[in-house]
Structure 1
Amino acid sequence: MSWRELLPPWLVIVAGLTGIVLLCISTKDVPVAPLRTKYGIVLDAGPSRTILFLYQWTTTKANKTGVIRECSSCPVQGLGVSSYSDSPQKLGKSLEPCLNWAQKEIPAEQHSQTPLYLGATASMRQLNLTNPILSDGLLAALTVALKSSPFDFKGAQILSSPAEEAFSWVAVNYVLENFFKYDWRGQLVPSTKGMAGVLSVGGTSTQFTSKVEEENQAPKEGVRLQLYGQTHNVYTHRCPCHSTDQLRSRLLSMLIQDQRSAKIVSNPCWPLTYSREVQWRSVHTVPCAASDHTSDIPAPEEVFNITGSSNPTACMRLVQSLLNSSSSCSFFKSSLSSVFKPLRTRFLVISEAMDFMRETVPSPDLGQAVNRLCGMSVKELVKDSHTSLDRVANYCIVSAFILHLSTKGYTFDFDRPAWTAFQKKMGDASSSWTLGYLLSLTNTIPQDSPSFLKGIEPGVWSLLLILFVVLLTGSFMRISYRVMVKENSFSNRNSSVFDDN
Structure 2
Amino acid sequence: MSWRELLPPWLVIVAGLTGIVLLCVSTKDVPVAPLRTKYGIVLDAGPSHTILFIYQWTTTKANKTGVIRGCSSCPVQGPGVSSYSDSPQKAGKSLEPCLNWAQNKIPAEQHSQTPLYLGATASMRQLNLSHPILSDSLLAALTGTLKSSPFNFQGAQILSSPEEEAFNWVAVNYVLENFFKYDWQGQLVPSKKGMAGVLSMGGTSAQFTSDLEEEKQAPEEGVRLQLYGQTHRVHTHQCPCHGTEQLRRRLLSVLIQDQRTAKTVSNPCWPLTYSQEVQWQSLLAGPCAASDDTRDTPGPKEVFNITGSSNPTACMNLMQSLLNSSSSCSFFKHSLSSDLKPLQTRLLVVSEAMDFMRGTAPSPDLGQAVKRLCGMSIKELIRESQASLDTLADYCTVSAFIFHLSTRGYTLDFDQPAWTAFQKMGDRSSGWTLGYLLSLTSTIPQDSPSFLKGIEPGVWSLLLILFVVLLMGSFLRISYRVMAKESSSSHRSSSVFDD
Using structure 1 for the length normalisation, give the TM-score.
0.87
Q: Is the 8 A contact 2:31 2:449 kept in 1?
A: no
Partner of 1:370: 370
Q: Is the 8 A contact 2:11 2:474 kept in 1?
A: no
d(CA) in 2 for partners of 1:474, 1:397: 87
Partner of 1:154: 154
Deviations 1:255-291 (A, max 9, x none): 1111112222111111111111111122245774466
Matches within 5 A, 1:67-106: 67-106=67-106
Q: Is the 8 A contact 2:44 2:433 kept in 1?
A: yes
d(CA) in 2 for partners of 1:81, 1:6: 87
**Residues 1:29 and 2:34 are matched in the alignment:** no
Deviation at 1:201, TM superposition (A): 0.6
Matches within 5 A, 1:235-314: 235-284=235-284, 288-289=288-289, 292-314=292-314
Cα distance change on mapping 1:304 and 1:160 into 2, 3 Å: same
d(CA) in 2 for partners of 1:447, 1:287: 46
Deviation at 1:171, TM superposition (A): 0.3
Deviation at 1:142, TM superposition (A): 1.5
d(CA) in 2 for partners of 1:286, 1:102: 38
Partner of 2:66: 66
**Residues 1:45 and 2:45 are matched in the alignment:** yes
Q: Is the 8 A contact 1:181 1:188 kept in 2?
A: yes
Deviation at 1:195, TM superposition (A): 0.4
- Secondary structure of the 1:206 match is strand
- The residue type paired with residue 392 of structure 1 is L
Q: Is the 8 A contact 1:343 1:410 kept in 2?
A: no
d(CA) in 1 for partners of 2:159, 2:98: 22
- The residue type paired with residue 40 of structure 1 is G
Deviation at 1:337, TM superposition (A): 4.3
Deviations 1:408-433 (A, max 9, x none): 1100111222222222x223453000
Partner of 1:445: 444
- The residue type paired with residue 254 of structure 1 is V
- The residue type paired with residue 269 of structure 2 is C
Partner of 1:120: 120
Q: Which moved more, 1:373-382 or 1:446-455?
A: 446-455
- For the aligned residue pairs, the C-alpha RMSD in angstroms reads 3.0
- Secondary structure of the 1:217 match is coil
Q: Which moved more, 1:408-417 or 1:391-400?
A: 408-417
Cα distance change on mapping 1:244 and 1:335 into 2, 3 Å: closer
d(CA) in 2 for partners of 1:461, 1:19: 14
Q: What's the % identity of the aligned pairs?
A: 79
d(CA) in 2 for partners of 1:44, 1:392: 25
Cα distance change on mapping 1:277 and 1:7 into 2, 3 Å: closer
d(CA) in 1 for partners of 2:343, 2:316: 22
**Residues 1:434 and 2:433 are matched in the alignment:** yes
Q: Which moved more, 1:87-96 or 1:155-164?
A: 87-96
Cα distance change on mapping 1:386 and 1:337 into 2, 3 Å: farther
Deviation at 1:183, TM superposition (A): 0.7
- The residue type paired with residue 373 of structure 2 is L
Give 5+ residue unaligned stretches, structure 2. 478-499
Cα distance change on mapping 1:128 and 1:471 into 2, 3 Å: same
d(CA) in 1 for partners of 2:350, 2:55: 22
d(CA) in 2 for partners of 1:353, 1:223: 28
Deviation at 1:239, TM superposition (A): 1.9
Matches within 5 A, 1:193-204: 193-204=193-204
d(CA) in 2 for partners of 1:399, 1:335: 19
Partner of 1:176: 176
Deviation at 1:456, TM superposition (A): 4.7
d(CA) in 2 for partners of 1:22, 1:346: 59
Deviations 1:348-381 (A, max 9, x none): 0001101111121132321111010000011111
Deviation at 1:133, TM superposition (A): 2.4
Partner of 1:390: 390
- Secondary structure of the 2:86 match is coil
**Residues 1:192 and 2:192 are matched in the alignment:** yes
Deviations 1:221-245 (A, max 9, x none): 4111110111111111112310111
Deviation at 1:69, TM superposition (A): 0.8
d(CA) in 1 for partners of 2:169, 2:330: 21
Give 5+ residue unaligned stretches, structure 1. 479-501
- Secondary structure of the 1:242 match is coil
Partner of 2:347: 347
Q: Which moved more, 1:274-283 or 1:66-75?
A: 274-283
Q: Which moved more, 1:266-275 or 1:276-285?
A: 276-285
- The residue type paired with residue 444 of structure 1 is T
Deviation at 1:311, TM superposition (A): 0.9
Cα distance change on mapping 1:416 and 1:339 into 2, 3 Å: farther
Partner of 1:206: 206
Q: Is the 8 A contact 1:250 1:284 kept in 2?
A: no
d(CA) in 2 for partners of 1:343, 1:64: 25
Deviation at 1:444, TM superposition (A): 0.8
Matches within 5 A, 1:405-444: 405-423=405-423, 425-444=424-443
Cα distance change on mapping 1:383 and 1:323 into 2, 3 Å: same
Cα distance change on mapping 1:321 and 1:159 into 2, 3 Å: same
Matches within 5 A, 1:482-501: none
Cα distance change on mapping 1:70 and 1:476 into 2, 3 Å: closer
Partner of 2:134: 134
- The residue type paired with residue 317 of structure 1 is N
Cα distance change on mapping 1:476 and 1:139 into 2, 3 Å: same
Aligned residues: 476
Deviation at 1:14, TM superposition (A): 8.2
Deviations 1:5-31 (A, max 9, x none): 999899878855764566546657263
Q: Is the 8 A contact 1:266 1:306 kept in 2?
A: yes
